[in-house]
Structure 1
Amino acid sequence: MDFQPTQDQRDLRAGVRDLLAGRYGREALRASVDRAADTGRTVDRSLWRELGAAGFFALRLPEDEGGVGLGLPEAVLVFEEAGRALLPGPLVATHLAAGVVAGAAEGAAVVTAFDLEEELVTHLGEADAVLGLPGVWTGEPVRSADPLTPLTRVSRRAQSAAGYAGHSPGVREAGALLTAALQLGSALRTVELAVRYAGEREQFGQPIGAFQAVKHLCAQMLVRAEVARTAVYAAAVTQDPAEVAAAKLLADEAAVRNARDCLQVHGGMGFTWEADVHLHLKRAWVRAEQWGTAARAEEELAAALMAEALQGAEQGG
């Protein structure tokens, strides 16, 4: 089985990267942070509609339903680029809502989901709908680690009745895989940031990238990101639930640990508000709790391995 992207898939990824670089570069990212601090708004509705017009949300809808007619492998590549750019908003939920919630496919509607196992929901105050649930949901805003991912606390009873467990297995797995792709994009971006800074910052008359300790940090970051990339791409092709769980687990680890190591490479500069590294770390923390935690992924993997072992024992016996 060939897990390498085709030329069409690479062109798709390059096109999305160009779109986001032109529309949501570093200046736009920092402007989003400032706007969120002033107004509490994190979703740029005009950009959301542009993404809809570009097919971001309707990517997996059949062409006869107004979609692009592609699959999960292509969606993973697109979401990887969104993660690399730290694009804010409930991207996964709106993508999953295309064809189900009016306006989602076109980017005219912002859709969130009960994708956290606690009683917290992201972007609820800016959402037009909640995936799979009727009515208007409200709650108490709470402070989020990520300035671009607002959180709202709903009642535990409401969350229990309508939440994460209410999504069908196919929706949960697609949500987990697309979130893993976002994490992968962030992990790859922090490798780039670390390597660039290591080549520019000098100490003792030479770039810090010449020091063995920094080289090791950057090398470990690259290995983590590439292992996660392999797992995410493979799971997009096979769509095996155990492989999706593994991909989410590896991508979460890569995003969080790479952001931490990138901070280490930057030294004191990395902890300042002006640097972007902390934004990757904060977003990675939140995403690691969405569409399945590490504990849930480990349980799913353990169950799959146990089932496989029992099946092998029965066949052998």
Structure 2
Amino acid sequence: MDFQPTQDQRDLRAGVRELLARRYGREALRAAVDTVAAAGVDRELWRELGEAGFFALRLPEAAGGVGLGLAEAVLVFEEAGRVLLPGPLVATHLAAGTVPGAAQGTAVVTAFDLGGSLVAHLGEADAVLGSAQPPAALLRTGEPVRSADPLTPLHRVPAPAPASADGRGGAGRPAAQVAPYRDEGALLTAALQLGSALRTLELAVRHAREREQFGQPIGAFQAVKHLCAGMLVRAETARAAVYAAAVTADPAEIAGAKLLADEAAVGNARDCLQVHGGMGFTWEADVHLHLKRAWLRAEQWRTAGEAEEVLAADLLATAGA
């Protein structure tokens, strides 16, 4: 069985990469980081993503979508992770079939995907996935929380009521609201982490080739080679797990993919920082942005502890079968 991307899938990935390079390259990223008012969702870009089918990718064609599957969505989200595209991408994608405007990119949808009562991009959202309360109502009772990632504003709010069939809502916890979306949300977040891990690998290798010490590139030194080799192993292991989980959609494989992708994103960002040396710690370098976003994503949809519990339960069920 051939698990390599098809030509259509490669073309899709190339198209998304071209779009993001044109609309959210490094200059746009740095401008967003350096301008507090710009930290958040670029509505114009959000609409462009909607027009390109980013959010409606898995909706049936009869419903105005593209009609593709998880495998294609993973490739698209991987590209978004490479450029650190901010905003509740996963929640808006998952809401494409239920929240008006989400599929077209005219609505921004967030979710209680961080556990507890934390919500990202609440002040910019038009809806909260699975919640009967509008973001404005949650903001009135919430409070801002300092975020490690400068492009991901956070709020802590009381647990709202989930949406019910009659539209009146009811009692419930934030975890229950995202439960129907947790597996897909975890896989798409793993794809974002994979993209970041691959990008920090590229940054480390490029710096190792260009930076010279003692008359030769630092990439010639064994310690730096080992760091880069370890980054490659992490990224490729995560890539295999994420792609396989996108094909099978098995909850245990998704949990394993999220676990490996989180480790790859955080570990590669840390090692990339080491390859850059003292320069890597500076605000001007992009390495810290990848590390901070990786920390945040590691807590979204499914934490390492939760993924390990899913895997353990699957192993026990298999052993008892």
- Corresponding letter in the other structure for 1:56: F
Asked if 1:63 is matched to 2:74, the reply is no
What TM-score results when the alignment is normalised by the length of structure 1?
A: 0.95
1:93 Cα deviation (Å)? 0.1
Q: Distance in 2 between matches of 1:117 and 1:40?
A: 26
Contact 1:114/1:162, CA 8 A, preserved across alignment: no
Equivalent AA in structure 1 for residue 193 of structure 2? Q
Report whether the alignment pairs 1:167 with 2:168. no
Q: Distance in 1 between matches of 2:175 and 2:11?
A: 34
Q: Which residue of 2 aligns with 1:6?
A: 6
The one-character-per-residue Cα deviations of 1:90-121 (angstroms, maximum 9, x if unpaired) are: 00000000021000000000000011112211
1:146 pairs with 2:156: no
> Deviation string for 1:122-151 (max 9, x for gaps)?
111110000121222221001100000111
Q: Structure 2: which amino acid aligns with 1:202? A: E
What is aligned with 1:314?
A: none
Give 2:282's aligned amino acid: T
CA–CA distance in structure 2, aligned partners of residues 164 and 10 of structure 1? 35
CA distance in 2, matches of 1:178, 1:158: 25
Distance in 2 separating the partners of 1:45 and 1:220: 38
Matches within 5 A, 1:124-273: 124-136=122-134, 137-138=138-139, 139-155=142-158, 161-169=172-180, 171-273=181-283
Question: How far apart are residue 89 of structure 1 and its match?
Answer: 0.2
CA distance, structure 2, for counterparts of residue 19 and residue 156 of structure 1: 37
Aligned residue type for 2:127: A
Query: Hey, what does 2:92 align to over in structure 1?
Result: 94
- Go from structure 1 to structure 2 and tell me whether the alpha carbon gap of 1:157 and 1:53 turns closer, same or farther (over 3 Å shift): closer
Range that drifts further, 290-299 or 40-49: 40-49
Structure 1, 71-80 or 129-138: larger mean CA deviation: 129-138
Contact 2:262 2:297 survives alignment (8 Å): yes
Is this contact kept in 2: 1:92–1:179, CA < 8 A?
A: yes
C-alpha RMSD over aligned residues: 1.3
Measure, in 2, the Cα distance between the counterparts of 1:99 and 1:157: 22
Structure 1 residue identity aligned to 2:5: P
SS of the equivalent of 1:121 reads strand
Q: How many correspondences in the alignment? A: 308
What's the CA shift for 1:3? 1.6
Could you tell me which runs of 5 or more consecutive residues in structure 2 were left unpaired when the two chains were aligned. 163-170
The 5-angstrom pairing of residues 26-105 of structure 1 reads 26-35=26-35, 37=36, 39=37, 41-105=39-103
What's the offset of the Cα at 1:41? 4.1
CA distance in 1, matches of 2:259, 2:109: 25
d(CA) in 1 for partners of 2:67 and 2:175? 27
Summarize deviations over 1:284-310 as a string: whole Å, max 9, x none: 000000001000000000000000000
What TM-score, normalized to structure 2? 0.94
CA contact 2:9–2:72 (8 Å) conserved in 1: yes
Amino acid at match of 1:147: P
Structure 1 position 40, deviation (Å): 6.4
